Structure 1
């Protein structure tokens, strides 16, 4: 009862007066006293989350005994449900009879609406109950004597769920039926008396239970969800080699599919009627990580129309009924939602995450290898491995790097939720923000009733574990998924954007990657190639994120999100182009899939390679581009802020700023791109000059120095032009395109020379010695003799000549991709 007192204290701290006395049986059901002993959390501590679709690790005889217990409870539940349906139908004949009189209680049409499909539901379940009881009676009679198990019953469940379509009409009609009941209860004393005093027999002692008309109408909605939960429980206690197992799996598939369709198409089944008469609806639910000072725990979060409820799922294994234990709740009125930056893991937790990823990889590998075992040995080993994999995956889901969503209530209560997916985080944030605009006040909840209803209303049955997803090896990706992010358009005004990619499947490796933030532009261009190692991946999620400065701090805002179903056959070893439309923004990207065996996560390099003092060809290859990102980023920033800066490229920025920015580029490109916009523009230009100066090999290869010197001496301008262009064309692709990118930029700088005082000659003098260098003289080796006195003159004149060329070709910033025809993916906005 300590949890109950905790809930009451929580209500009192929120200024809510607790007046209603809670029924003892309801308290026991919702806040069941735990008998387990809490030990110090181990690396595989799963916080009591169960996996209903996994058979328990016990002997076949024990499973069959538990299966009989489950079947008996199903029979008892069916008997009660039939009694409730009969009670609901009891007044139907009388109401029909009065419909034709001068003083009808309900009209004929109203009677049809109120009782629509109820007789059909009764007949469906009556047939199911009768046949199930007939099959169970022999086994129940011999249970105490160690008698035989009941004959197969899977066909009965399959037949019953195949007729769930009867519920569709009832669900679609439910709102209309409830509206008539409520209206007539308020306006007609005769109907009110009837609606508030409907009696039904309950239990073996035939004691009477009082229902309201509306409560009885809700029973079939409750039954739709319960059918799926019952099948989960029964399948869990049915051995793999039992002849019912496959049939029950099919029945569960049909039931889950029907329930999923109901969830998507109808909101009425989510209605919870409180004692105050308010209609509260469940809008969204799912498993999240609750982050607090005591650590991180997996919790089930329920978003209702006016509040967030966080609960802990308990039971559901070893024959125990699943139930929810209250954790906390927050009203939506006045709730502030803040997306916090991802927190870095401690060194110890990083090591544990790395260890768990290796263990998960090994378990997954073992599962794939177990197909060669004998059937009996395979089933036992397979289930043990699956169970271990689920435990490890759940631990990783709870402790891996998380994105945080902070919730701050006006009453001073705050909670932090953790998500491993930015896509999922945005779905919750968007849903909460939408409801906040529709709710001005909150009706104090009856926490016990609300928490009890979670077991009936929950739509998400498990945490987001890939090991619980049915295998689909022919459609999933295993290998490398390469994504080339090209550009975006459709912005109403210039903005700094980055594209975030998330892929599903097993998370041995990082399943998220993102481009560098673009500089403010109405048409951002990245031309970045990102690679993701994937196993069992089927979906790629694309998010467009805008970076803004708010109160002197950087804020990320998701502008749109979409998803692409991955088809390995269409992008196998070849690029396929996509245009993804999110709101008004269109993002262009290309995908390519390369299947291959995966290596353990510990063998995959995770640290970023340095940017400075490495060959430019190596850097470009690492980034998958023809013009390195540091060159493009610095140049774009200078063009954005420094074209009218006097002495740009001649006046150097602070040495400390330049070194700080250089260090950021070498260690964390994302951080460097963020700092770039806040740095003095002269520090940015200084970093660009330093990058070219520290290249081990100059941008124009050393072996071309003498050829360039000779070409400068050609008197005929046409011949000189031809020779100089041929030398440039002979340079490696990365060197040539980076050089052209810089040349076009320097020409745009000189167009403002009346303001910035930087002529073409001034710019050639600054950059010439860094870009064009003579061959190094090695002791004992013969080489072309260079006149040292003319060295600087050649360096400056070469660059000055190229800057004067009016017909310079345009640079190519990214490696051209051999892509197929573009496919358009349109969402029209953020997905829910």
Structure 2
């Protein structure tokens, strides 16, 4: 090499020749970093790229350490390295998550995402999860360089965890609502014994012992709901084989954590371990740096701060898309802090300027936030496509507690900003007490708002035609639809079906087969809601409520049967027909996630409610 180096035609020194491979690796790492920034994390090549980049970084670190050792043979003490890591460490995100333990049980954890590691901790306090905590116990941590969203060959198996039954959740929610009513009655009774009623009920910090006990009971019930409600899995894996799983209440929350972790991973390629002193210092820092002090007592909030009734939301259009895609939006609404997917728009095909203009009527109970997630529908037929999952483009949210929303019947338009995107949305809210009003139809030959006895007389079966046709269509193509009768249909399609039934159009059966199945389910629910008198009749409301509270099961069953048999013939036939249909729907629970309790929750308030003059 020295001989070659001395030749006059050689334009490179020996150092340059030896440095060329290292320089190429350095350029490759820059290219890999750019590729990672533009590769969706669901793409199968994403984790391969991360592994290659990590190996390249480790190779360069070894070169640097060998080079520096000839000049600085002394080794940096591990305590100094730990101090350097701690000095650069920054808390990015923290929050309460439900972890699934090895035995399949649910545990409430406080997770802390730093710029170089994810820490899972348990709060230590005898006061309960809704009070201030002073210390943490570390359950585990993962350096972000060792964290993966895909399992390895030697990854531990994650135990199966059963989804919480809707019956249990509904029971917990009903008990919590009852405690809230007890608290309101206690405050009202206490105000009567005080001279200054207004100040005592609104601004006085003093609470009676009974109210304190009730609030403590309410906090305990909410803690159980927080543990029981989440059912969406969020899995993470350690490169050394450990596996962990959290449960989350919505896809929005799951994506938030995924994106936050991945953003920090862009600059994390070196693994490390923490000494016990470092762990203790980190736990102490968690108390000081945490952004969330408690789970958040949604149930304790006053009802006037939350929305209960019907929220009409129209998704108009989107702007700011960089490339043509197949975008669609899903809508999530919370119920006392627990989110559920309520509606989904159709995908717009191959466009940078999507226009949906779809309206949904969402039934809300204790809501304060509307979340909007925008996805790109996977194109299986696209040449070269190597992944089939729909890819999240952007997400955003809208608060639902503004006074402008409480103005009955008025639309409010907002632009939801999602990074570089914006989605135009209009909303209006109808309180539950207004939605109970049933206006009779002015059309003598109509269907909606007409007494069921009148419409049933037109049919030989004694069952309204709209009920039979909608049920037949749901049983034909909606039995496996996730959230059938719970997920809202597009309002324009529902209104088109309503107009077709009201005008007795001959092609209504064809129209039922063309629209989205959730619109078919929606028009059936709307028909029952707009009946001048509910299916169980006004006069028998108190009898049915009284029968449901009977404690003796035999007496209860006999009384219920007698009350149902005493219903008018059209009501009885329609009720029996709907009962058989809903039983069939519940038999597909594993596919549609709708058991009998879910269906009763949807139809119950519509079919059985007090007369308006007694509400």
TM-score normalised according to structure 1 size = 0.38
TM-score normalised according to structure 2 size = 0.50
Q: Mark the structure with the bigger radius of gyration.
A: 1
